[in-house]
Amino acid sequence: MEISQKMLFTGSLFMFLAVILGAIASHYLEQIISLESILSFEVGVRYMVYHALALLILSGKEFHSKQSKRFVFRMFTYGIVLFSGSIFLLSFKTMLPFPVSWMGPITPIGGGLLILGWGLSAWSFFKKP
């Protein structure tokens, strides 16, 4: 599968998940977790939406090189999983039968990958003739 198709598929999949998770957050979570945890959960959903849309939009753009586009795709994908995924798990930390506090440092790593993806994207468009 070509990188643009992977970006379209992955962006669509993340949007699909974000809509489901957003609906769960607005209709169900208030019954089981604190308001503070719901607000954190919504941050994870919001950033998933932002970067899923970015994947969908950037899939149709020409980058400086295929390697740059592939790298941006990976940074956004890993960044979404680490950033949003860790926030989702941490939102349920009081309900889980195992400790997840060790995941706290994973959230900024995911954020760093998203920042790296945006930086390389900007650089690639700057370098493109």
pLDDT tens sequence across 32-81 = 999 999 999 999 999 999 999 999 999 999 999 999 999 999 999 999 99
Structure tokens at 129: 């003739």
Distance from C-alpha of 53 to C-alpha of 59, rounded to nearest angstrom: 10
How many domains is the chain partitioned into structurally? 1
The reported pTM is 0.93
Q: What is the per-residue pLDDT for 90?
A: 95
Distance from C-alpha of 68 to C-alpha of 65, rounded to nearest angstrom: 5
Q: Where are the alpha helices (DSSP H) in the chain?
A: 3-27, 35-58, 66-91, 106-127
Distance from the first to the final alpha carbon of the chain: 26
Structure tokens at 41: 């959960």
Residue 100 pLDDT more than 90?
A: no
CB atoms within 10 A of CB 28: 10
Range of the structural domain that residue 103 is part of: 3-127
